[in-house]
Structure 1
């Protein structure tokens, strides 16, 4: 069964994956490695890791390998690599003895960097930002009540994985709000949660705002019509989403592509004359990148933060024996000028990086920079 799953996975990507020209890898060699690994797999968990390692070099942030209806549990902390250190960024158990800003030097008796090297080898990611974001979750994940041993300041802490993983929890305090009026009449919009109806109702206030901050560190909540209020002229890009027409095996004689686009119009009131800032980072993927492609192409706002995930296009899932599901990207997406998006993403105009001191002070350094841009 394990060998069959590897071969079937190989064939799906070999014949239908649209991004082989964008990734530097030898798919046949990866097949050979995966077949050898699968012969040694003793458990379903071993086999899922084999499939994860097999698909990781495809650099497709949509790829996930998981068992249908499987539950994932994590301990009551969050962590993140900041300034080359593994830093605690949230502590839900105030009696744990662990503080926000603590540096984790070892995980399960391994140096933190070695522990994450193995975790990263199981993740398919187009950009470093998506790799780091995915690793934050995968590194903490496990079975219910499975323990995790960490070392902080030469002291060991045993953590229990007793909480279900909530992938929607971005660990950003301001994202508790759908929107908020900040000092100086600056409007903050959390595009991960705010509905377009709410934005529409706010349009009179947004017209009078000193500036508007749009936080897209996450996934939009169907509110991309906001773009129409930022466009001065109708969108003219018509071919940035491309469905490959595949007839023959091995991508031979591809007939062409079925081109698609959003073809956004303009809407009143026009907000493009305001100071607009969009915040993005490595977790901004897929639909978020479609959204941001308009902001970048038409220069509708200043973009602050980090490069996005570099993965866009509809997800195509397939199911292997053992009820193992693999998601992947089946549609090809390029930038509006036709250049490569995959593995690059949307690049910010102003780069922002977190600092350990900022974490300790519970500052949102990305939001602080966005406010600074508007005020200056």
Structure 2
């Protein structure tokens, strides 16, 4: 053989080998996807007859050994074959009466030629086409609330050790696949979910400490862009502290504004005043703190993220801290005290459930009103020229009862999607459109005004949707939290609690509420000046609107 030919063959071998070489992140990301896919699709896995965690732990060393795409595909092929035969069946035709929602369903990765051989892709597609049709072993509708999803029959690992890489990967793999198949708003996230998997894998592989591992989960959950999402453990206190300032705050223009006190006596010790503008905490500006920790903010939109980061500013590790603040145009620096939560002895001020304001305007505090209160409330407010329903809080399930007084007839106001457990990742539009109200010729004829802001979340937003279909209804305020629908709470592994929205809520025309929230007809935002002057600018605008 000529020397030039030999060199060419050696070069070709190197190029081919290099092209087919597969990285650790590629292998683990793909294993995560295949493991989750088989968990919910393979007939001999989805029925619960396998210890699926142990199967993962068994295959991971083989995945680690694989150096090329071909070797990796062969490992997965053998693994899938070991689960037993998948029998072909004649797929039932889609029910013409059922309307499917498929924006979340994305199985194009089954044909990824960068990591799969053609043979492996063909086997995976066959499993999809002949997927499990029985009762899922690891996911079901709630036993007590049929609208809630529950992730069940998962080993909790009571002796869970964060230092075990296999268990860290299991945590990630479980959570990633919960979201992949059962989070209705995956298609609305800022980043694609598979890109997030590749981005976060190194964080889980190389966690340097338990708090580093927990922060990785916190960052992962924030990427859902869902205000319902939450993750927190006691280890978070090691990072952010467990001592509290005795104040309530609002973030405006990257400044922390004191809006109230959790305990008047404790707040008086450090001479806090409503309207104080805090610009630095322990030497860091508010914008610095936001920039460093925004990745941990679990929210559907910017205002919701900032609202959920409140703990970042009122908590600290030490009993004392230093703040820089502006009061009456003067900048000052002072030392302040922080307290263990139980020592705050938070004072909840009593509020009237409803009353009549000047100019014969009714006002209802929806956070305290109960369903039993509704008949008396409406009787006492029936002759007012307008009723303001303040939904900048969390209502007590009064929306349907109130709607019967506000509408002359039933009104359509919401449409839902719910997961199709026979085809993980696909959703079904719930039959019909939900209505509220009843035939009522003696319905309330005055103006109806709804007040909302970033504190309006979930049932608050659902309440706003219910009441906004009333004749002459107007929404005033600012962007809501953008997380409507039921919030399912679950434990990924022992001690790691989290949550996210589990079914979708839309307007009757199928317009989304997630991330967008309930859009005000008249936008009004609270300002620093308004807080300092003791004014409720959203309520003030409502009164102006009613009287003009």
Task: Find the residue that maps to 2:214 and give its secondary structure.
Answer: helix
Alpha carbons 2:450, 2:468 under 8 Å: kept:
no
Higher helix fraction (1 or 2): 2
Task: Write out per-residue CA displacement over residues 232-256 of structure 1, whole angstroms, 9 at most, x where no aligned residue.
Answer: 221245x61221214345x3xx363
Alpha carbons 2:281, 2:324 under 8 Å: kept:
yes
Quick one: distance in 2 between partners of 1:199 and 1:214? 12
Decide which of 363, 374, 388 is 1:188's aligned counterpart: 363
In structure 2, relative to structure 1, the CA distance for the partners of 1:311 and 1:299 (3 Å cut) is farther
Residue 336 of structure 1, CA deviation: 2.1
Corresponding residue number in structure 2 for 1:54? 220
Decide which of 277, 286, 289 is 1:103's aligned counterpart: 277
Corresponding residue number in structure 1 for 2:338? 160
Task: Find the residue that maps to 1:311 and give its secondary structure.
Answer: coil
Corresponding residue number in structure 1 for 2:408? 232
Corresponding residue number in structure 2 for 1:176? 351
Residue 126 (1) aligns with residue 300 (2): yes
Quick one: distance in 2 between partners of 1:11 and 1:228? 42
Residue 269 of structure 1, CA deviation: 7.3
In structure 2, relative to structure 1, the CA distance for the partners of 1:364 and 1:255 (3 Å cut) is closer
- State the TM-score, normalized to the length of structure 2: 0.61
Quick one: distance in 2 between partners of 1:262 and 1:206? 27
Decide which of 417, 424, 433 is 1:242's aligned counterpart: 417
- State the TM-score, normalized to the length of structure 1: 0.87
Alpha carbons 1:243, 1:259 under 8 Å: kept:
no
The runs of 5 or more residues in structure 2 that have no matched partner are 1-166, 326-330
Correspondences of 1:246-265 after superposition (within 5 Å)? 246-249=421-424, 251=425, 254=426, 256-259=428-431, 262-265=434-437
RMSD of aligned C-alpha atoms? 2.9
Residue 85 of structure 1, CA deviation: 2.7
Residue 327 of structure 1, CA deviation: 0.5
Structure of larger gyration radius: 2
In structure 2, relative to structure 1, the CA distance for the partners of 1:364 and 1:54 (3 Å cut) is same
Task: Find the residue that maps to 2:468 and give its secondary structure.
Answer: helix
Instruction: Name which structure has the greater RCO, CA cutoff 8 Å, separation 6+.
Output: 1
In structure 2, relative to structure 1, the CA distance for the partners of 1:236 and 1:351 (3 Å cut) is closer
Task: Find the residue that maps to 2:382 and give its secondary structure.
Answer: helix
The runs of 5 or more residues in structure 1 that have no matched partner are none
Alpha carbons 2:395, 2:459 under 8 Å: kept:
yes
Residue 11 (1) aligns with residue 177 (2): yes
Corresponding residue number in structure 2 for 1:207? 382
Quick one: distance in 1 between partners of 2:226 and 2:353? 30
Task: Find the residue that maps to 2:269 and give its secondary structure.
Answer: coil
Corresponding residue number in structure 2 for 1:221? 396
Quick one: distance in 2 between partners of 1:317 and 1:202? 34
In structure 2, relative to structure 1, the CA distance for the partners of 1:26 and 1:232 (3 Å cut) is same
Alpha carbons 1:63, 1:326 under 8 Å: kept:
yes
Name whichever of 73-82 and 223-232 sits farther off.
73-82
Decide which of 136, 140, 151 is 2:324's aligned counterpart: 151
Corresponding residue number in structure 2 for 1:284? 456
In structure 2, relative to structure 1, the CA distance for the partners of 1:294 and 1:94 (3 Å cut) is same
Residue 297 of structure 1, CA deviation: 4.5
Quick one: distance in 1 between partners of 2:470 and 2:189? 28
Quick one: distance in 2 between partners of 1:108 and 1:40? 30
Count of aligned residue pairs for this structure pair: 367
Residue 142 of structure 1, CA deviation: 5.8
Quick one: distance in 2 between partners of 1:24 and 1:286? 20
Quick one: distance in 2 between partners of 1:119 and 1:165? 27
In structure 2, relative to structure 1, the CA distance for the partners of 1:322 and 1:161 (3 Å cut) is farther
Corresponding residue number in structure 1 for 2:260? 90
Alpha carbons 1:203, 1:269 under 8 Å: kept:
no
Quick one: distance in 2 between partners of 1:298 and 1:151? 47
Alpha carbons 1:106, 1:150 under 8 Å: kept:
yes
